[in-house]
Chains A and B, each alone.
Chain A
Amino acid sequence: MNSFTSSVKRKDLEEERIAICPQFSCKYIKRVKPLKFKFFGFGKYPKCKKHHLPLVFIDEFIGRFLTGVNACMFDISSLPPEDLLDQIKKEDPNGLISFVNLWMYSNPFGRGIDLVSRYFDGLSNAYMKVLNRKQRKELNSNSDKKDRYGMLRQGMQRLVKEYTLFLKEFRFKSEELVETLDLEPLSNTSNFILQDWMKLNLKKISNIKFETEAENNLKLKYRYDMVLNLRTTSLLISKTQTEFQSDLFTIEIFSAYSGFFQQGLTKDVNKKDIEQMLSLLQTKSITSHFGFAKIRDSISVIVFQDILNDLDEFEILENLKYKVRDNLSSIKDLTSDELDLLNHILIYQASDFDKFFGDLIKFIKFIHVSYSIHKKIKARIIIKHLARDLYEQDINFSLDFVYFYDYVIDIYNILKLNFPYFFSINEYSRKGLTLKEGYEKEAEYRRIVGSRIKIYIIKNIYNGLYSKKEIGKCPECKKSGFKLNTDISKLKALELHHTKSRKERNYSANRLYHMFRTNRNNPNFLENLINLMESKKVILLCGNHHDIHSYKYFNFFKHLISWRNIPNNFPKDIFLLTSELIFTIIRICVDSHPKTKDFDYRKKDNVRVEIAKLLKKRYIIESIYGEKCHICGEFDTKNHLTSFQFNHVDEKNKSIKPSRISKHLSCSDIVEILKKEDGGFICSNCHTVLHNKKYLRVLDKIYDSKEIIRKVKYNYEMAIKKFTPISKINFKLENPLDKPKKVTDSLYTYLTAVWECSKLKKEVSNHDLTTYLGYSSGNTVKKYFRRNFDLIRNYVKITQEGNKPLYKITERGILAVQMMNYFKEYYSSI
């Protein structure tokens, strides 16, 4: 059939012919004559009066019209829409092929083939009218000119030819695309899906305006196809959508398709396209083949064996293909039918085969790696976690999680059955538990796995440095000669400390478990973790020693706070000093320490408050329990003050965090609050022992040695037994650290001045002090002594000689100045 038509040029015309407007819906038809002498006459290029388009010959035009019709009927876009197919595949997989066949069968009518004959009716009518006029004219003129009806014959032949060709093409295409005798009616499910799909797409399309000129042709074609698909759908569900069914609209579509055909935007649909489409759809579901589960299980066993033989994923897949293709008998336990099916999938659904079994290999490899790590730390595996991890990594065989979980269980069980020596540790199950019990059990599992990883690290880091004689002994405790606090039985108290670099993450059991969870598919996870720790110079420390390392200001001012190695002439403890002196000394220390002396006023004040807080803590603990932890008796407040923690007898009664109690409260006020909290101070290591209750029931899953388990239990019982809350102890408490109203540098300045001047004279006058301090007037000194009389009289004796006051430093004053100078020099020299 003609794909294009040339417009009428009267100059080239040999005889009269019939021409028509090329606009499909236009009925403008005209008899055109040749020009006289090939140049004389009007309307050399006749046009349609309505559309102003050059006319074309009618017989050629019919060909063009039918080209448009055929392009529309059997375009590739006449295949069912993908979203609709997906829905039917999902909800009515058995009706899929039947649906596709029925769609293709109904398509020509959905696309308006029945309008072709009506259009032909109109066209023939117009044609005949023009011919009759010509015929009459010829008959009246009694012309003897031969072959004067050539045009008539040509027109008739052309019409017959085009009609016949149209019918033939329709039949060939119908026979090629659809097996008409095998068709079945739509299932109920497919019918409902079609109805929903139609409703949805009608909404979408209702906003579209079909402005042909302004549109991009591809866009326009897409929209026309949407309409045509909707019409096919309406035909299938026996409903009529009048808005898109009008004859005029259909003719417009044919016209547009004629244009699309000329622009190469159409493609003839054929049987192969349908087969390809169906095979693409089936790719997602090779699992739906009957008996596929058995095949999957058998191949899982083969794949696992290959993984054990250290083959990589590619090799395993190729190996499998080879076995399927060339040596079917090597796959055990499969019947010949099952082997045939497998071979069929490999040949006809090659990409599916690769996708499914590629995923299966990844899946089994994941199980292998994950299980190997679990085995290394001797922890049980939870299948649900495994399934969730796989699912998150998109290894899910396109299944919903619930079904996928069953899938994982099936394959895991098959592997366990075939490789019992590998799967030697039982899995952890939450089966039969309530939701709450399940959560508790999961928390328990976290504890076990985290603890086991911690033990593995302690045993293996630095080539087993911490497991030579006693496993997990804190090196600092070893140095101090402590016995109770330092072994693997206090696993929770053992911490990993960063010595070299800044801490990026802590390595608590909980944190280690989470790291492990995200690295289940990393076969070298544990080795990498240990290497990382070694590179960061992570060392093992008990909680008490770790706390000391981490408390900055305690380490800076430990000499002052612990009051150890102080000259003998100084008071035995800092708490024997007056609060003004304590705060003045604190002030001097902060101003002298190289790391704090350059701080601004506010920051210095914070540091001073922090030191006072630590002193209060020491005072309270020592006043109630004495210097050492009352459970272990090994750690003391002077060296390990920061390791002391407040333990609540019952965590449920906890209303406040002791560390959050205001730093400005007096010691007695703090103790009152702590009494209400019902608990007592113990060292951090003993605190972890007291909190071991939840671990007691899983000790056998954490530790391999019964001796250690016994020790853990003993430690716990002893800690419980020895622990005494504050409320059960009688003690006396003063408030040595009540902050005075005003603490400034002046006390130190004036005391030093008096002391220095006293070295030259027995009694020092105002004038002497003014000269020493470099003041211009004596009034400043006078005013200070007058205003701070109550404070200064403890350290300086003031007498009157006439109107002039005389100052004499007391023994106490000398000691105060010595202390202040001592700490100033001590911290300046660091």
Chain B
Amino acid sequence: MDLENYNNINFENVYPYLEYEEDDEFLEWYSIEGKNQIFELSRQLRTFLNYKKSILYLRFSRNQIAYTYPKETIVRQYERALNESSSQLVSLLKNPPLLKGDLSNEINNLIFKTLENSQSKESKKLLEISKLINKIWELLHILSELEVQHYPRLFNRILIIANIACEIKHLIFPLFSEYFLELKEHYRILEKEISVMKVTQKKVINQNSERQKERWLEK
């Protein structure tokens, strides 16, 4: 979306899910959700920049000495929580699959069904997904502060989950749709970067082992 369209954004027009016709209703929603969401935006930005910085350290830092990290127990604790929540999310999304297709189709379908009937199963499922996503983001925010570059596997998983979480947020909160779409793009790039990292690391390991072999032979 270009800058001009952005300036002309109309709250009602971009709000198919929560159609608040009256200001009071908006205010009601805002008192429950909006305030938190505004905080969430800057929090999201902070989390992304933390992960970006972690990637920088992971890829290029010269001090990658394997040592016992003091925050390991906390990290592992949140890792378990994240695993749990993410597996719950996956099971929610896949079981039972409503429509064959990708994630966006599935969520859009849920939203459509909810709009048709707010008391339907889909509506409850959507609410559950929304709660779960918020929980996942909360965990991702916490983990971003724990220097995850020391745990490359976890880091890789975090980025995949963040990517999915952004997609879901983008779909279910249209007010911030553009923002989360953009954020998702950033996480996609980070994911790519970490996958490249794996290849280069392998290369380095192979080279090192070859050098060690040569040295051994020289002896």
Contact = CB atoms under 8 A, between A and B. Distances in A.
A is bound by B: yes
Interface stretch (B81-89, B95-103, B179-187): B179-187
B206 to A, nearest CB: 16
A235 B60 CA distance: 10
A112 to B, nearest CB: 10
A621 B31 CA distance: 129
Nearest to A125: B39
Contact of B23 (A148, A159, A238): A148
Contacts of A113: 49
Given A116-B49, A185-B62, A238-B62, A121 B34 contact: no
B178 A149 contact: no
Interface residues of B, number: 44
B11 A153 contact: yes
B176 A160 contact: yes
B63 A124 contact: no
A106 B56 contact: yes
B6 to A, nearest CB: 5
A191 B183 contact: no
**Residue of B26, B175, B182, B186 with highest tally of chain A CB at under 10 A:** B182
A44 B128 CA distance: 50
Contacts of A118: 46
Interface in B9-47: 9, 11, 23, 26-27, 30-31, 34-35, 38-39, 41-43, 45-46
Contact of B50 (A114, A147, A163, A185): A114
Given A128-B35, A146-B23, A238-B63, A160 B41 contact: yes
Contacts of B27: 135, 139, 149
A128 B49 contact: no
B207 to A, nearest CB: 13
A236 interface: yes
A125 B39 CA distance: 7
B39 A124 contact: yes
A106 B179 CA distance: 24
B49 A161 contact: no
Contacts of B26: 149, 153
Given A165-B6, A186-B60, A159 B38 contact: yes
A167 B45 contact: yes
Contacts of B39: 121, 124-125, 128
A147 B23 contact: yes
B186 A167 contact: yes
B74 interface: no
B23 A117 contact: no
> A105, A117, A128: which has the most chain B beta carbons within 10 Å?
A117
Contact of B53 (A109, A163, A166): A109
A623 interface: no
Contacts of B189: 171, 180
A284 interface: no
Contacts of B7: 161
A102 interface: yes
B202 interface: no
A152 interface: yes
Interface in B133-188: 175-176, 178-179, 182-183, 185-186
B81 to A, nearest CB: 23
Interface in A697-733: none
22 contacts: A109-B49, A109-B56, A114-B46, A114-B50, A116-B49, A117-B45, A118-B46, A121-B46, A135-B31, A148-B23, A153-B26, A156-B175, A160-B176, A160-B178, A164-B178, A167-B45, A167-B182, A171-B182, A180-B189, A186-B60, A238-B57, A238-B62
Given A118-B46, A165-B3, 13 more contacts: A109-B53, A117-B46, A120-B46, A121-B46, A124-B42, A139-B27, A146-B23, A152-B30, A165-B6, A167-B179, A167-B182, A181-B196, A238-B61
The 5 closest A-B pairs by CB, nearest first: A117-B46, A120-B42, A117-B45, A164-B179, A167-B182
